[in-house]
A = this chain, B = another copy of it.
Amino acid sequence: MEPQRRPGGRSARVREAVLDATAAELAEHGYPGLTVEAVAQRAGVHKTTVYRRWRGPEGLVADALDRASEQSWPIPDTGSLRGDLRALTELLRTGFTDPESGSVATAFVAAGMQHPDAAAALRAFYAARHREAAVLVERAVARGELAPVPDPVEIIRFALAPVFHRLFVTHEPVTAADARRAADAAVTVATAARD
């Protein structure tokens, strides 16, 4: 029996290879060093294939972020809002400071500051992530741990923002205690909020 053809077939395999190569190149050289030639060579495809489908580095980054949007964040389920938000901010912290995954994730954020297409892709990416993570707040409300809050996504933003602020604006170190404090502050805000 023939192996069933996946949706997209060869085209989908080319996309996987090209976007994997994009991530690897970003990790090594950052956004300013991302070239279609290097991505094509690493992916083992002709550079005209890459130019035709992705146009340039900004198209590659935008599609790599689109692909990342299709994957989910692991959403913690510790039984309490505090535990869940602490797990979430710690995942964010370690994700960006991990020597392997961190440089790709950092390159995505940097790309957003350098090209409007990447910024638009990041906006869609984080909107999807925030909606997913808002379930932590909704679960706490459903458990009766928390009164209904007007905007669950805003609680997620408050938890994550201080970690991102240290990483990408003030360039301060981010310790596990910093990540925990950000989560705890968001719990305080959620508890004080009234629908």
Contacts and interface: CB of A to CB of B under 8 A. Distances in A.
B171 A120 contact: yes
Nearest to A170: B126
A13 interface: no
| Chain A interface helix/strand/loop/mixed | helix
Interface in A152-195: 154, 157-158, 160-162, 164-166, 168-172, 181, 185, 188-189, 192
Contacts of A181: 154
A142 interface: no
A110 interface: yes
17 contacts: A32-B114, A112-B171, A113-B113, A113-B168, A122-B170, A126-B169, A126-B170, A126-B172, A127-B170, A130-B170, A157-B165, A157-B166, A157-B170, A158-B162, A164-B165, A168-B169, A189-B189
Given A126-B170, A164-B165, A185-B185, 5 more contacts: A123-B172, A157-B162, A164-B164, A164-B169, A188-B189
